[in-house]
Structure 1
Amino acid sequence: MSIKLRIAAALLAASVAAPAMAADELTFTIVNKTSEVITHFYTSPTNVDDWEEDVLGDDVIGPGESMQITIADGRRTCKYDLKFDFEGSDKLETTTDTQDLCEMSTYTLTE
């Protein structure tokens, strides 16, 4: 039986938030508060039908760890689909979500 993930995205305070206009480079932190290792993290703009390359490459994000992520794909868009794969997939399901990365500073995954 899989555990449903609750996902919380902490937004930047209005005084330091990125402007509503899209930036060429988007930076945020992923926090893994699950008991499993995040093995893959995929993103793609919401208007793209396929997942792009694994952002983590050879890296992983272990339980209790965090990692700063920079999306520098040259696109001037803020809304991205996100997909996370976990080691031990029998316990945690693949998780997908959509976020405004121009407004987000931290993305936390929990069980």
Structure 2
Amino acid sequence: MKKLFAAPFVLASLFASTASAEDLVFLLANESSVDLVEFNVSPSSSDNWESNLLGGDYIAPGYEADVLIADGLQTCVYDIRGGFSDGSSAEDFGLDLCELGEYVFTD
């Protein structure tokens, strides 16, 4: 699988810049047929989505990026939302990202 090298920097830069024991790293892959243009992740305990972590970038089909969540929280359970260039979106709730280690968007 191809790797997108710009996205990890963008994703990681939106969280705290120092690593700590609470940091969570997982692999985000786009195996759909369209560009992933928006990516939001929020603790499941939150009622709101965090900002778009791609910040104007995108992950093309067949590419992947490492995601660093360094929000200082001691949780592994997050909700995920992806927005695609064709206007579609996908949401998934209550994911244990520590257990999964990766998340893959597909058609």
TM-score (norm: length of structure 1): 0.72
Cα offsets for 1:51-98 (capped at 9, x unmatched) = 012122232100111111111111111110000000011xxx210002
Q: Percent identity?
A: 38
| TM-align CA RMSD | 1.2
Runs of 4+ in 1 over 4 A off after TM superposition: none
2:73 alignment partner, one of 69, 72, 75:
75
For structure 2, list consecutive stretches of 5 or more residues without a partner in the other structure: 1-20
The answer to whether residue 51 in structure 2 is matched with residue 53 in structure 1 is: yes
Q: Name the TM-score, length of structure 2 as normaliser.
A: 0.75
The counterpart of 2:25, out of the listed 24, 27, 31, is 27
Separation (CA, whole Å) in 1 of partners of 2:102 and 2:43: 18
- Choose between structure 1 and 2 for higher RCO, CA contacts under 8 A separated by at least 6 residues: 1
Alignment partners' CA distance in 2, 1:29 and 1:37? 17
Who wins on radius of gyration, i.e. which is larger? 1
Could you tell me which runs of 5 or more consecutive residues in structure 1 were left unpaired when the two chains were aligned: 1-22
Question: Residues 1-111 of structure 1 correspond to what in structure 2 (within 5 A)?
Answer: 24-89=22-87, 93-98=88-93, 99-111=95-107
